[in-house]
Amino acid sequence: MTKMTPLIRIGTRGSKLALIQANETRDRLAAAHDELREDGAIALEIITTTGDRVRDRPLAEIGGKGLFEKEIEDALQERRIDIAVHSLKDCETVAAEGTVIECVLEREDPRDAFLSPVAGNIEQLPEGAVIGTASVRRQALLLHRRPDLKCVLFRGNVDTRLAKLAAGEVDATLLAFAGLKRMGLADQATRVLELDEMPTAVAQGAIGVQCRLADDGPDARIRDWLAAINHEESRLRVTAERSMLATLDGSCRTPIAGLATLDGDGRVTLVGHVAALDGSALHRAEAAGTADEAVEIGARVGQDLIQKAGPDFRV
């Protein structure tokens, strides 16, 4: 029998977590559309990014978090794939030319997980404990609470970091709880940190699906398919958060946190933070408004944080 030509080719990184997220997208599309349930209708294309290849240096040194998406966006623009599945927290706030983040899947728990064989929480860590993290946000917030801690670079996929922790290379690490849950590793968390303990990264726990912009033809059909799996509450929340990030012009060198919520009356509330790299300062701002004001809410919080932190807060 002749193999079916895929109706959608999904571009994804090859890590275990990335493949879980791509498969979730595939399964949701197939559940929503009869024509996508046929064998071979949806294909996965694994694309290795610069961020995957270079693991011995901080992202800020090699070009920022966009290094987890550039090669995938190139494939999208060159029509080698039809959609790209991303962890939205790893995405730049402006999509590649001719493309758009068309939908956001239902968001997983956005909080951070604390993992340690020597302490039940951050406060219980011994003086001078070594924390492994590749996140300047986590580092700055940890040092704000515990200036005595020593933070060291800790990159690699989830399994790699767990192995390093088990081998005793560090006393503790922090990971996105969403990733642990999706991988069936929630029980590895020593403690799930509440937002007052560790304000979360912008769009953490959210999966974004990117496609080409088009009002007609095959790309328009794909956009229609994606519309059916969009989770509007999650989209509105990350829209506000990413608008704040864009206003701050944040980079991998800038410790930024932000989380938006949506209440039953359709009001969006966004709380944002900016910290000094060494943890010596932490600034907070909050704004609220209607759902259709999500972009403006993010901009207001961003401008408020700039005023509080001063013009030189960016690194």
What residues contact 59, with CB distance under 8 A and at least 6 apart? 51, 65, 67, 134, 252
Query: Is the pLDDT confidence value at 62 over 70?
Result: no
Domains, the chain, ordered by start: 8-105+206-230 (3.40.190.10), 112-192 (3.40.190.10), 240-309 (3.30.160.40)
pLDDT at site 192: 98
Q: Active-site residue among 39, 74, 82, 90? A: 90
pLDDT band at 154 (very low <50, low <70, confident <90, very high): confident
Query: Is the pLDDT confidence value at 110 over 90?
Result: yes
Mean pLDDT along residues 287-293: 97
Check if 148 is active-site.
Answer: no
Look up residue 56 and give its DSSP letter.
S
pLDDT at site 143: 97
Mean pLDDT along residues 143-153: 96
pLDDT at site 150: 97
Alpha-carbon separation of residue 142 from 10, 62, 64, 199, 277 (angstroms)? 37, 24, 21, 11, 10
Residue 85: CA count within 13 A, CB half-sphere:
30
Q: What is the pLDDT of residues 257-284, one digit of tens each?
A: 999 999 989 999 999 999 999 999 999 9
Q: What is the pLDDT of residues 178-196, one digit of tens each?
A: 999 999 999 999 999 999 9
pLDDT at site 216: 77
Average pLDDT, the chain: 92
% pLDDT > 90, the chain: 81
pLDDT at site 82: 97
What residues contact 10, with CB distance under 8 A and at least 6 apart? 22, 25, 26, 42, 43, 44, 45, 81, 82, 83, 84, 85
- Residue 189 corresponds to which tokens in the numbers above? 């968390």
Query: Is the pLDDT confidence value at 65 over 90?
Result: no
pLDDT at site 170: 97
Mean pLDDT along residues 50-61: 60
Q: What is the pLDDT of residues 1-32, one digit of tens each?
A: 456 789 999 999 999 999 999 999 999 999 99
Higher-confidence residue of 313 and 198: namely 198
Give the dihedral sign, CA 164/62/92/41.
negative
Mean pLDDT along residues 135-146: 96
Mean pLDDT along residues 59-86: 82
Q: What is the pLDDT of residues 201-260, one digit of tens each?
A: 999 999 999 999 987 788 999 999 999 999 999 999 999 999 999 999 866 678 999 999
pLDDT at site 248: 92
DSSP reduced 3-state for 292: helix
pLDDT at site 2: 54
pLDDT at site 214: 83
pLDDT at site 271: 98
C-alpha 205 chain-centroid distance: 6
